[in-house]
Structure 1
């Protein structure tokens, strides 16, 4: 890497040269794993769930994104010969007689995803690649991409793959279906929600796909389709949504550059930077120094911690290789969708995003509290430790009333930039961290998915408050279900209703809990799990009495749970190899010593911070349904329960 430039980039030290060096390292390292004609790039590791042929196509298409951004931003200057190298791969990949031929769109659905990357780069680099391909190769490319026409695409972000491919075909005089594009646009229009957010399909699926897919493609498509009334009529709305969304997205980046550890496909890592480059490309009114600081912070977060690895490879993992982070569709080439995070390189060196001085992130400027309404998130950032926390009352990758198992990356009550939900081991499928559960026979914890969002808003003091309720349920999952990041279905046993109200201020959450059950029905013990702390060893701070309802875990950050009356049992669970952040994860918890009582409000205080927690908030009740919370900073709030 070049030396840091702290004059231009006082926060990260990174300039365009650093981004170019990262791209070049990824691209030159990838060549070692290419087939003879470069049509397939098969990175080391066991084949993915879709097989080696798909893996090789993914490796080509996703690194091709990086190559395309690199050359487009240089106006065709190409000292690494990227366009010629990938042109050879295109010629072989589209040749049905070649042993390196690509999996066709008609043969496997994943090819529909990769085809969009190929089409997008061919568009961005048209003078230096497409226009120089031999006519027979261009014909084969058109034939290959034409598999998108009339094909079925799931009604999620995948519809943008069909739109991009068919729009490229239209631009080069190939076959395409206006009806396909119209239909897909109509469905994706329906994804829009409040404050510029998109949900990924019909379910409450809010995650990084909002930025690296659902905001990334629309404005690029509008560029491809410039002059088309469909694009021109939608472009203003796309711009307004992106601008509003980015205001939230900037508040979800930690001071250390970590993205929020929530949602599927986290192994794409710095793809989360793509949304900020999209803002720089399409919204000249936004601060370019702030956008670059966010993007560079995300990339440097990973490069400083071992990703890519010593061979220049992006493995399945987070900071390092950690295969449990993969979903069933992930293969060794999948992590290279991180190339989307290199989108800024498509902007020339004299663009303001590269010449402006970096500006600090919201969490670096001061403490903040924020309500993100669409996903039902209460967001709190603290400047002292750079941690951003989300308390979740609106996202579970499902629909209200469903009774699935909890997906750890969606249905937990809290996510942050300093912690990861437990994703492997016994507690991945048996909710512990950031949970409120009833314990059934064998201490089996209940699940939350299918909850109802009751509210998410801010009080006059700036404290945020939210609430949700759900039917406690236990699920015996059916065998053989693929892992696409959502919960599993199976045989269900229903239990009492659980209602949770959260008030969030700084590093603390006051969590109010009530159970509802028919008269005479006994509830099991109630357990409240706190933040999961990454730690190098399976020990914890033991300053709490086991019987006082408080438990503290100390790792890279501090996590504390303080149980109110009735929640006198407490402890800390040590989970080995449960997250990609550290060898151990420590989770403090509190619980009722015996069966919980229906129609009683229980209180738990939940803390996450970089320093040892001081005095906890104090909760008193003015009457039924009216709690008074005295916070450590001297502010007092009255929280009305639903």
Structure 2
């Protein structure tokens, strides 16, 4: 247990008064925000408190799962709240959830929980139940009657020996549940835990990163699942007898990861808008609190607390939760297209993970450690994240972080599928969202390089291969590169909708090699087309950043050194950030075997700029930037294009269970 006594400012009601100030949040502000999220729970609870079903359209798994999620995920918030108060002054909260547990595990109750053997999603929620029952053991578990305790054990027991868990972050759900079962005299399996810990190790990548499964699936799950659960698990009753040297290894990896993660938060607190499950919103703050609890050595507790606060307040200041105190399926406001097909009304409450800090007592040093600003709040920066194949640029003037993506793909390494806009775009940012309407899934436009035919059909870039490339001075500019088999898609009628690219029949058109060079708000993007195998008349279409129409953000794209057709494509209902977004594009001729280049900008305001110049000679690209600095890089050669730059990231011919992970 990592908590000590503190006070509770009220019972199970909202308290808004202290959470709207402009200064740094105190612990009371954090608690107040948590109480606001808990305040509506009773209103949407079933008669026995077993299910909490928030308003909105039924989720992909039905109302029973929606209600279970609503209970289990708000139980996380309640658990952190109870533990931080050490059970003092939170009697009403304890009573409400204790009654819900009693009802949930009662097989005769109308509002009982969906069981683990009845629906896979129950295995996910079981982990939240087990975590909080362990965390609040003296005030909840120990007060339940013997029959209810046995029913809880019976409810959790089917996870033992269950081999149907998807091969990704779900491994932690089985580890956590079995660790709790072991601590209360229930069934458990040493071999299950050993196997899951070995699988966890197999997902480790460079720099403390984790892929969410085999391959190169990099997203927020690296932080709010693969790094969070090891820290919480290590503090569960009896976990130290199971962990061996895993705990120390996990802290070292978390320490490295957090140094990258702080660079991926915008000055306005927005996390990178990339990857699935974005409706979990401020769950992105979870790894920073995990770093505080684990005591990572390289980043101060004040810097970690500040990062977590920036993320949570980003959403609180922009309407999440809404006026009813509810977290809807969306980003700021409700926007159902952002959710995966399996998501339900209780799903957004995994945002609870971002409130882990309230489990720390009022006398914990984190609450008085001076805050430290995010990297982008202090200065411009460039950074390479090798595991994910990301070149990163942040600018203090507008607070925007931009990522050029040349190593992340949700799908199997050799899968020719449609590009997932959540994973396969060439660029992501804290300031803009990929296009996520139906057309955005079927036709890459923003942040893409596509070969287009006379009818406008464009190619996809899944199954990309990261390549080695670097600049002469990474303090000035950073670069990343990749190669892919550009292919047209004919999509199947039945699609899963879990975040991966759409499947169907693929027709390879050519091989494309691309390089991104980032400095400040600018990117020089280069591409070369080889091995054109599909007959037709092709052009090369380059998509820029999608920005809200009539907004303040500046998005431009210009061809360098050749004729081009400039257009702006306006899309309605395609982004959670604005009703209408504009995507600038340029279309250039294709000359096989020749490097083409464009200049792309995403900035907070319009400024007069000197022109960008680029010369390519003997495999070297020399770039003159608008601020009169210069960069030289060696472009990928034919030999390098045939090899992976990070072989440890590639797992060819392995199929990955795409299941129903959340």
TM-score (norm 2): 0.91
Match in the other structure for 2:557: 561
Deviates more, 1:394-403 or 1:133-142: 394-403
Check the 8 A contact 1:57/1:102 in 2, yes or no: yes
Q: Is the 8 A contact 1:630 1:637 kept in 2?
A: yes
- 2:107 corresponds to 1:96: yes
Of the structure 1 ranges 614-623 and 29-38, higher mean CA displacement relative to structure 2 is found in: 614-623
- CA distance in 1 between counterparts of 2:623 and 2:557 reads 16
Which one has more relative contact order, counting CA pairs under 8 Å at least 6 apart? 2
Compare 607-616 and 100-109 and name the one that shifted more: 607-616
Q: Alpha-carbon deviations, 1:424-451, whole Å to 9, x = none?
A: 1423421110000011352111101111
Query: What is the distance in 2 between the residues matched to 1:54 and 1:322?
Result: 20
Shift of 1:468: 0.5
Structure 1 contact 408–429 (Cα < 8 Å) conserved: no
Query: Aligned residue pairs: how many?
Result: 618
Q: CA deviation at 1:617?
A: 5.2
Which residue of structure 1 aligns with residue 660 of structure 2? Answer: none
1:576 alignment partner in structure 2: 572
What's 1:50 paired with?
A: 61
Change (3 A) 1:262 1:616: farther
Secondary structure of the residue aligned to 2:307 is helix
Q: Specify the alignment match of 1:541 in structure 2.
A: none
> Which residue number corresponds to residue 133 of structure 1?
144
Counterparts of 2:20 and 2:509, CA distance in 1: 58
Report the counterpart of residue 166 of structure 2 in structure 1. Answer: 154
Contact 1:433 1:532 in 2 (8 A): yes
Is the Cα contact below 8 Å between 2:400 and 2:603 reproduced in 1? yes
> What CA deviation, in whole Å up to 9, does each residue of 1:361-410 have, x standing for no partner?
11011000000110000010100000001010000112333211000010
Q: 1:495 to 1:124 in 2, by over 3 A?
A: same
TM-superposition CA deviations, 1:211-253 (whole Å, max 9, x none): 1000000121122265645413111110100000000000111
Q: CA deviation at 1:624?
A: 3.7
Q: Secondary structure at the match of 1:223?
A: coil
Q: Secondary structure at the match of 1:356?
A: coil
CA contact (8 A) 1:469 1:498 kept: yes
Contact 1:523 1:597 in 2 (8 A): no
Report SS of the residue matched to 2:87: coil
- Deviation string, structure 1 residues 495-515 (Cα, Å, up to 9, x no partner): 011111111111101011110
Runs of 5+ in structure 2 lacking a partner? 1-15, 637-662
Change (3 A) 1:584 1:141: same
Answering whether residue 17 of structure 2 is matched by residue 2 of structure 1, we say: yes
Task: Tell which deviates more after alignment, 76-85 or 617-626.
Answer: 617-626
Q: Equivalents in 2 of 1:78, 1:304: separation in Å?
A: 28
Query: CA shift at 1:620, angstroms?
Result: 3.0
**1:626 pairs with one of 620, 631, 650:** 620
Map 1:470-549; keep pairs closer than 5 Å: 470-518=484-532, 522-535=536-549, 537=550
Is 349-358 or 106-115 further displaced after alignment?
Answer: 349-358
- Choose which of 219, 231, 236 in structure 1 pairs with 2:248: 236
Map of 1:17 onto structure 2: 28
Q: What is the correspondence of 1:294-373 to structure 2 with a 5 Å cutoff?
A: 294-373=307-386
Q: Once the 2 structures are TM-superposed, how far is the Cα of residue 457 of structure 1 from its aligned partner?
A: 4.4
- Equivalents in 2 of 1:415, 1:515: separation in Å? 23
What is the CA deviation profile of residues 331-381 of structure 1, one whole-angstrom value per residue up to 9, with x for unaligned ones?
Answer: 011000001111011111111221122211110110000001100000101
Displacement of 1:465 after TM fit?
A: 1.0
Partner of 1:464: 478
Once the two structures are superposed, residues 119-139 of structure 1 have per-residue CA deviations (whole angstroms, 9 ceiling, x without a partner) of 000010000000000000000
Instruction: Name whichever of 614-623 and 395-404 sits farther off.
Output: 614-623
Q: 1:187 aligns with which of 199, 203, 206?
A: 199
Q: Does structure 2 retain, via aligned residues, the 8 Å contact 1:371–1:458?
A: no
Deviation, 1:638, is 1.2
CA RMSD of aligned residues (A): 1.7
Residue 632 of structure 1 and its aligned partner are, at CA, apart by 1.7
Tell me, what secondary structure is at the counterpart of 2:628?
coil
1:254–1:386 Cα contact (<8 Å) kept = yes
Distance in 1 of aligned mates of 2:306 and 2:386: 25
CA gap of 1:402–1:132, structure 2 versus 1, over 3 A, is same
**Matched residue SS, 1:25:** helix
Structure 2 CA distance for partners of 1:458 and 1:209, relative to 1, 3 Å: farther
Task: Indicate the larger mover: 559-568 or 300-309.
Answer: 559-568
Paired residues of 1:391 and 1:414 also in contact (CA < 8 A): yes
User: 1:3 Cα deviation (Å)?
Assistant: 4.2
Residues 617, 234 of structure 1: CA spacing in aligned structure 2 closer, same or farther, 3 A cutoff?
A: farther
Counterparts of 1:264 and 1:616, CA distance in 2:
38
Aligned residue among 118, 123, 130 for 1:107: 118
Moved more, 340-349 or 563-572: 563-572
Determine the C-alpha separation between the residues in 1 that align with 2:337 and 2:125. 23
Structure 1 residues 320, 4: CA separation in 2 closer, same or farther (over 3 Å shift)?
closer
Q: Distance in 1 between matches of 2:319 and 2:442?
A: 29
Task: Find the aligned partners of 1:20 and 1:520 in 2 and give their Cα distance.
Answer: 60
Query: 1:121: which partner in 2?
Result: 132
Counterpart position of 2:233: 221
Task: Using the TM superposition, name which of 76-85 and 215-224 deviates more.
Answer: 76-85
Whether contact under 8 Å (2:60, 2:342) holds in the other structure is: yes
Paired with 2:321 and 2:621, the residues of 1 have a C-alpha distance of: 49
Q: Is the 8 A contact 1:501 1:511 kept in 2?
A: yes
Cα distance change, pair 276–53 in 1 and its aligned pair in 2 (3 A): same
- In 2, the alpha carbon distance for the partners of 1:374 and 1:427 equals 26
- In the alignment, structure 1 segments of 5+ residues that lack a partner are 538-554
Query: Contact 1:461/1:635 (CA < 8 Å) preserved in 2?
Result: no
Q: Give the whole-Å Cα distance in 2 for the aligned partners of 1:529 and 1:207.
A: 22
- SS of match in other structure, 2:109: coil
Q: Which moved more, 1:165-174 or 1:565-574?
A: 565-574
